Each structure stands twice: as structure tokens, then as C-alpha cells.
A = this chain, B = another copy of it.
Amino acid sequence: MLAAMRRAISAEGYAAVTIEGLAAEAEVSKQTIYRWWPSKAAILGEALLEGSIPGGDIRLPVTDDLEADLRAWFSAASVGLGEPESVALARALIAVTATDPDLGAALNERFASPIVEWVVARIAVAKDAGDVRADADAEAIADQFVATASYAALQGRPLTAERVRVTVDLLLRGIAA
């Protein structure tokens, strides 16, 4: 089911996916789908969680070079958003969020929060090391990253290495000690 959902979204886009089509694709009855999920959006949610969304399952390395670390994560995410399949999934997530705020908030929370947490933790380390101003708002930084990635996905604009470099550079300068 979840795989069928991902396949369908990649192929036709979230809006064009129908429960009937999914049922046929997964060789499952509609009733079975409705037994387990209340809506198309809920299936998408689970499909995204089960599968991977760009940035979601990236192993986040910690070296002693803050800039390199941030750029590494951002690059990994941008590589993910380079594959058309992932873009379609990310767009589906955005579409669902724009349509059903509650479910969307829950999903975004799940995807964004590990990233935010990691960024916040990494910046705390950098603060201790004296690389970053003590009063820098780590969460604001994390949010900028997520917002940038989200916006890029929404527009289908790839996050080029150059753009990643510029963005990380910009934000790090903003919080440099």
C-alpha cells in the first residue's frame, strides 16, 4: 500500500492519486484501505514515514567544523531533492499541509524536528567552542534551513551546491562570534 502510494505520487502527483487507483495498484480492496486509514492524506503520512523523505534519514555527522557539518546536511538534503521522485513526495507533503493544517503540522513536526534538534545541538557545541555568538538563536537558524529546503521543493527549484554554500555561509556569518 505505502509503496503503491509512493509510486503513484511519483508517477502522477498527489492530486491525481485516487484511492481506487491505489486499491487496484496494491491489489487490495477499497474497504481494506478505509479500514486502516481515514483519508488519502493519512496514507501519504504513513508512506512518507515508512519511506524516506529528503533529509529525513540522513545520518548527521558531527565533526569539529561547523560550516562543513551544516553544508554536509544541507547538501545531502539537496541531493535528495534532486531526484524527481523525492520532489514529488515533498510536494505531496506540502500539498497536504496546505490542505489539512492539523495533519500537516503533525507530519512536518516529525520531519522537521530531528533536523531542528540536530542543528540546535550542533550550534550549542559551536557556542561552547566559541565559534558562535552566545546569544545566537539556534532555532531560528534551523528554521531557516528547513524553510529554504521546503520552499525550494515547493518550487521544484533544485538546491544547487552553490546555493547551499551561499546559504550556509550567510547564516553562519549571521551567528559567528
Residues of A bordering B, CB below 8 Å: 13-15, 91-92, 94-95, 97-99, 101, 104-105, 108, 136-137, 140-141, 143-144, 146-148, 150-152, 154-156, 163, 166-167, 169-176
Q: List 27 A-B contacts (CB under 8 A).
A: A14-B98, A14-B99, A15-B99, A94-B154, A95-B98, A95-B99, A97-B155, A98-B154, A101-B155, A104-B155, A105-B155, A105-B156, A108-B155, A137-B166, A137-B170, A140-B166, A143-B148, A144-B147, A146-B151, A147-B148, A147-B151, A150-B151, A169-B174, A170-B174, A172-B174, A173-B175, A173-B176
Which listed residue (B91, B108, B175, B176) contacts A98, Cβ 8 A?
B91
B154 contacts A150, CB within 8 Å? yes
Other A-B contacts than A105-B155, A144-B148, 11 sampled, CB-CB below 8 A, are A91-B101, A95-B95, A95-B98, A95-B99, A105-B156, A136-B170, A150-B150, A150-B151, A151-B151, A171-B174, A173-B173
CB nearest to A101 among chain B residues? B156
A15 to chain B, nearest CB (A): 5
Give the nearest-CB partner of A90 in chain B: B98
A97–B147 Cα gap in the complex (Å)? Answer: 16
CB distance from A165 to the nearest CB of B (A): 10
